[in-house]
Structure 1
Amino acid sequence: MKSSVPGIKTANIITLGCSKNLVDSEVMMRQLRAAGIEPGHDSNNPADLVIINTCGFINDAKEESVDTILQWALERKKGNISRLFVMGCLSQRYKDELIRELPEVDGIFGVNDLNAILAALNTPLRNELLGERILTTPAHYAYLKISEGCDRRCSFCAIPQIRGGNISKSIDQLVDEARFLAGSGVKELILIAQDLTYYGIDLNRKRQLAGLLEALSEVEGVEWIRLHYAFPAGFPLRVLDIMRENPKVCRYLDIPLQHISNRILKSMKRGLNGEGTRDLIRTIRHRVPGIAIRSSFIVGYPGETNEEFNELKNFIRESEFERVGVFTYSHEENTPAFRLNDDVRPALKARRSEQIMLLQQDISARRNAELVGSIMDVIVDRKENNYWSGRSEFDSPEVDNEVMIDDPEGKLSPGMITKVRITGADLYDLKAITL
């Protein structure tokens, strides 16, 4: 198709931050292609237009976004690209500063400015394509963003001020998106939102995640459905029954708990104390035997004492989460916690983070060793040297463990879901052979 935008025939979309940003980039890429602009993603090929989709969540992410903008601003100044746009969380949060400091950037756009980006390119938004995307993930899995924004007011988090309040997509709209993705070859849907468990409250004043799971599991071609970013307070327990009974819903839950100290949880405004958190984890494991729980925690929150940190370590040791991520506290302006004294030294934050990850390393190695000899279903992702890399239902792409599969008979290909026997284990990954 001939480009409807004079001088702009190709675009390079650079996505930073989370999978929610990735979905936004994929939606925009479909619109650009409809306008006759051929989009690439994180491409090294020359392009007329570069669009940087930024993250502005914590300090490290902001620094990465700024560095990337400066890199491409230099290319714009040299004349190596024709136009440079910046969009996403950082530009939503610091739009005026970016306009003032970066004259080389041709357009600064926020998180919900797809219409404005297209208008700047003199091309209309094609509403009939809004359920369609150009996937940047492998063809057999895709992220499905079920809502935008967040109504929670966690003290450390800037997301509500960046992305606004929770807005859920309708079940019908999400089923249509899932059908489009399945028709493109997607077998695994990874449900994402700032808070999955709040889904639907803005639509009819009740949590609808369970109903959404039932509807999505009816989509032909979808074989796995995975849940990311569930908020612990008010968790809809019916979801656990569906996870236990519906073979398409992976026995996997990403549920960021952040801490276990009562004082810190109260200051964080998490809505659940330490005992409530422990009760929830016990309930999840009881109602979904064999579930893999991924959680994340913040260390170095203002005022975190050695005793509170040790309480967190003991909680992780006792709970034996299958997957754990750790963040060091980032003091973010205009958040409630910014009024507190950021009094835990950076070096101590780093040491505490390292201690948690070393503890989790031992837990992961022990759990992996217990799997040797077992048979499990694995989705095949890619070929790596003489092995195929895949994942079980207990592992999400990019962040979790992998299964390295020996395939002597050449049976495998990307996107296959196949049974394997686990033959070996290391700290995080498994080795297997096809059956």
Structure 2
Amino acid sequence: MKKINVITLGCSKNTVDSEHLMARLAAAGYEVVFDSDRTDAKTVVINTCGFIGDAKQESIDMILRAAAAKQAGKIERLFVIGCLSERYADDLRTEIPEVDAYFGARTWDGVVRALEASGEPELATERLLTTPKHYAYLKISEGCNWMCGYCAIPLIRGPHVSVPMETLEEEARKLAARGVRELIVIAQDTTYYGIDLYGRRMLAELLRRLCRIDGIEWIRLHYAYPAAFPDDVIEVMASEPKICKYLDIPFQHISDAQLASMHRRHTKAEAMELIRRLRGAIPDLALRTTLLVGYPGETEEDFAELMEFVREVRFERLGVFAYSEEEGTYSARELHDDVPDAVKQERVERIMALQNGISLENNSRRVGRTERVLIGSRQGDFYVGRTQYDSPEVDQEILIPADGRRLMRGRFYNVRIESAADYDLYGSVIGR
């Protein structure tokens, strides 16, 4: 049997792309491994990230290692796909000619033909999962129309294109039949879903339909753009018990001057009003956000306003990134990257130090509560799980002493929280 190794770099949206490709490869008779060092796989496919500097460098380093392996005769064919090759295919062909072919991120037709994979339409909703079998990402659209000043995604992935609702329902039913219990709904902007197909935003209706699928117990919503946030999404999150009380909503900044320069299409007042509406309708909501510091023109006053925003809102989950100039974006063309790297890094550290204390206080208030926990793994003397307030890979976990009892991976248990750290909880199973 032919063996092929698919290596995926970057975000969860890339993960879904690779899983769809691997299903087509498996249908064509390949033995598929993923993210593997196996030397008996003579064909290698690298799905790259081209979003920010560190991610691009990781992708380039991986391509160079694979190219060296090909030169040494360890692999026979090497293909590169995804965001980096969408953006820089001509440069990559010149600099790393050992790669057999480069394909972009917007269509899979070329790589499917090159690998002699199956192109059958009925495989459109099939995936070979690379996540643990109890959860999976569901990508509901591609591309983005917002054109934020710092972001290269529209240049790479193109404009927003929704996946038809019936296709998503079929894919979700297949995932549930294979044991998936948690769907993590993702896109560049999930709240924009449906506007191109149905003439209006249809995320709430999609969520209702997903809730009706037997076997799915948790539905988690990621990457919701703050501007024009749909009221019906708030309503469905508050009313549907399967939808996790969790929302990933990247605000990026709060200073009106920075928001305007970033082309974020909302104001500070609108952001604060949205947070008020969300927490008013869903009192136990865990809000996750990402922030961007060191954007061109960010003053100490802007940054102080951002710190106060974090202090006031007390996000349950927060990530912060230093601005990285990306060629072709508005900020790279029109603005001067005038915040020194040392200042950017200091601002990252100041926000995270503040958030560490907030996270510890938030976690400490949960001690004594009993929460439903999905078990993911065992590590040493502890089982590791998550509550509905935590997404895999990016958020905290709850650690449960094994104490001679066996907990099943992918099962739910009621767990009493006994103690808290800044980014971990400790608990014990209640009942059997």
Give your verdict on TM over 0.5.
Answer: yes
Aligned partner of residue 393 in structure 1, secondary structure: coil
Q: Work out whether 1:281 is the aligned partner of 2:296.
A: no
Among 12, 17, 24, the alignment partner of 1:31 is 24
Counterparts of residues 315-330 of structure 1 (less than 5 Å) = 315-330=309-324
Among 377, 383, 401, the alignment partner of 2:396 is 401
In the TM superposition, what is the alpha-carbon distance from 1:113 to its structure 2 partner?
3.3
Counterparts of 1:60 and 1:249 in 2: how far apart (Å)?
33
Give 1:420's aligned residue: 415
Moved more, 67-76 or 403-412: 403-412
Give 1:345's aligned residue: 340
Give 2:43's aligned residue: 49
Aligned partner of residue 130 in structure 1, secondary structure: helix
In the TM superposition, what is the alpha-carbon distance from 1:105 to its structure 2 partner?
0.5
Does the 8 A contact of 1:243 with 1:251 survive in 2?
yes
The Cα offsets for residues 155-211 of structure 1, whole Å up to 9 and x where unpaired, read as 100101100111101111111000000011000000000000000000121110000
Does the 8 A contact of 1:407 with 1:433 survive in 2?
no
Counterparts of residues 150-189 of structure 1 (less than 5 Å) = 150-189=144-183
Aligned partner of residue 374 in structure 2, secondary structure: strand
Count of matched residue positions in the alignment of Structure 1 and Structure 2: 428
The Cα offsets for residues 223-266 of structure 1, whole Å up to 9 and x where unpaired, read as 00000000000101211111111110000000000000001101
Aligned partner of residue 307 in structure 1, secondary structure: helix
The Cα offsets for residues 9-42 of structure 1, whole Å up to 9 and x where unpaired, read as 1111111110000000001111111111111111
Does the 8 A contact of 1:406 with 1:434 survive in 2?
no
Does the 8 A contact of 1:115 with 1:124 survive in 2?
no
Counterparts of 2:343 and 2:60 in 1: how far apart (Å)?
26
Residue identity matched to 2:348: S
The Cα offsets for residues 336-392 of structure 1, whole Å up to 9 and x where unpaired, read as 111200000111101100111111000001111111111000111001111110000
Does the 8 A contact of 2:3 with 2:30 survive in 1?
yes
Residue identity matched to 2:337: D
Does the 8 A contact of 2:237 with 2:244 survive in 1?
yes
Give 2:205's aligned residue: 211
The Cα offsets for residues 254-299 of structure 1, whole Å up to 9 and x where unpaired, read as 0000000001101111110111111111111101111000000000
Give 1:88's aligned residue: 82
Residue identity matched to 2:197: L
CA RMSD across the alignment: 0.9
In the TM superposition, what is the alpha-carbon distance from 1:115 to its structure 2 partner?
1.6
Q: Work out whether 1:20 is the aligned partner of 2:13.
A: yes
The Cα offsets for residues 58-97 of structure 1, whole Å up to 9 and x where unpaired, read as 1111111111111111111111101111100000000100
Aligned partner of residue 125 in structure 2, secondary structure: coil
In the TM superposition, what is the alpha-carbon distance from 1:418 to its structure 2 partner?
1.1
Q: Work out whether 1:431 is the aligned partner of 2:426.
A: yes
Does the 8 A contact of 2:82 with 2:105 survive in 1?
yes
Does the 8 A contact of 2:364 with 2:420 survive in 1?
yes
In the TM superposition, what is the alpha-carbon distance from 1:222 to its structure 2 partner?
0.2
Among 238, 243, 248, the alignment partner of 1:244 is 238
Aligned partner of residue 259 in structure 1, secondary structure: coil
TM-score (norm 1): 0.97
Counterparts of 1:214 and 1:54 in 2: how far apart (Å)?
33
Counterparts of 1:282 and 1:380 in 2: how far apart (Å)?
32
In the TM superposition, what is the alpha-carbon distance from 1:150 to its structure 2 partner?
0.7
Residue identity matched to 1:422: I
In the TM superposition, what is the alpha-carbon distance from 1:112 to its structure 2 partner?
2.8
TM-score (norm 2): 0.98
Q: Work out whether 1:381 is the aligned partner of 2:366.
A: no
Aligned partner of residue 291 in structure 2, secondary structure: strand
Among 122, 131, 135, the alignment partner of 2:129 is 135
Residue identity matched to 1:394: Y
Residue identity matched to 1:370: R
Give 1:6's aligned residue: none
Aligned partner of residue 94 in structure 1, secondary structure: helix
- Ranges in structure 2 where 5+ consecutive residues have no aligned partner: none
Counterparts of 1:161 and 1:293 in 2: how far apart (Å)?
29
Aligned partner of residue 258 in structure 1, secondary structure: coil
Does the 8 A contact of 2:24 with 2:117 survive in 1?
no
Residue identity matched to 2:388: E
Residue identity matched to 1:416: R
Say if 1:123 and 1:404 are closer, same or farther in 2 by CA, change over 3 A. Answer: closer
Does the 8 A contact of 2:25 with 2:118 survive in 1?
no
Aligned partner of residue 365 in structure 2, secondary structure: helix
In the TM superposition, what is the alpha-carbon distance from 1:123 to its structure 2 partner?
4.0
Aligned partner of residue 279 in structure 1, secondary structure: helix
Say if 1:185 and 1:124 are closer, same or farther in 2 by CA, change over 3 A. Answer: closer
Does the 8 A contact of 1:118 with 1:125 survive in 2?
yes
In the TM superposition, what is the alpha-carbon distance from 1:409 to its structure 2 partner?
5.5
